[in-house]
Amino acid sequence: MIIDPSEIFDNKVFVLNKTPIIETIDTGPAKVTVIDNFYEYIDGVIAQIPKMPVSLVWDQEGNNETFFDGRKVYRSNMEGSLIPYAFDHTLPNLVSNIIDFPVDRIRSSKEFIVNCFTFTDEFDSVFETHWYGPHRDRHDYGPTSTGMIAIVVFLNEHYEEGEGMNFYDVPDDFVLTIRERKDKVKQIYTVQGKKNRAVLFDSQFPHGQHTPTNQFKNEMRYTQVIFVPLY
Ligand SMILES: [Fe+2]
């Protein structure tokens, strides 16, 4: 055999747990749903990550060159990359139940999209005064799409206290940039990172990573993103 079987991306491990623990929190501007025990075979999912390439894509002014991002499959900023098929057909049912929306108007991305980040000491001064990376997810599923749900899945083995993701309360017309001053953009909710925990929310709800410790200077931070367009 030319290919080592252990190197093959196993797209059969992406099976959702049939009995996840679901909690929805009303943060004020929007709801956030935390789903624990998201995958049935989380170690199998995590085992696929090293089989994917990691690329430096955010090489822009105001950023850090040692900042990596493995978003190979975002249409606009990672060209020419392959898309492993990774999908559980029951996902629209799960989303339908959580957001109370007709299942036949729910689609889901079928790619395995993993954000990969690591930080250097130079970021310490940034984090003192700024949030890093608050954003709304781009919505490019065509004119008939009426909205989009985003699901973020924590894929590290362990998260130090405080590591996770933030949600922010900003006016709809506020254009967010890669760094926003803490005294201008209000953090209203934080979800603690946890292996096999997923976070579901309206993709237009401003959100971003929360990395207050040194953990991700020493290891890569992995989060899967699943986009679920609504029609
Ligand atoms: Fe996002």
pLDDT per position as a tens digit, 193-216? 999 999 999 999 999 999 899 998
- Going from the Cα of 199 to the center of ligand 1, the distance in angstroms, rounded, reads 11
pLDDT in the model for residue 54: 66
CATH classification of the domain holding 121: 2.60.120.620
pTM of the model: 0.89
Total number of domains in the chain:
1
Phi-psi region of 124 (alpha: psi -120 to 50; beta: other; left: phi over 0): alpha
- Going from the Cα of 13 to the center of ligand 1, the distance in angstroms, rounded, reads 24
- Going from the Cα of 122 to the center of ligand 1, the distance in angstroms, rounded, reads 23
- Going from the Cα of 3 to the center of ligand 1, the distance in angstroms, rounded, reads 35
Residues with CB under 5 A from ligand 1 (ion): 137
pLDDT in the model for residue 55: 64
pLDDT in the model for residue 57: 58
Give every residue of the chain whose pLDDT is below 70, as ranges.
1, 53-84
In a domain, 9, yes or no: no
Range of the domain at 25: 18-74+83-230
DSSP element (H, E) containing 124 = helix 124-129
In 3-state terms, what secondary structure has residue 55? strand
- Going from the Cα of 134 to the center of ligand 1, the distance in angstroms, rounded, reads 8
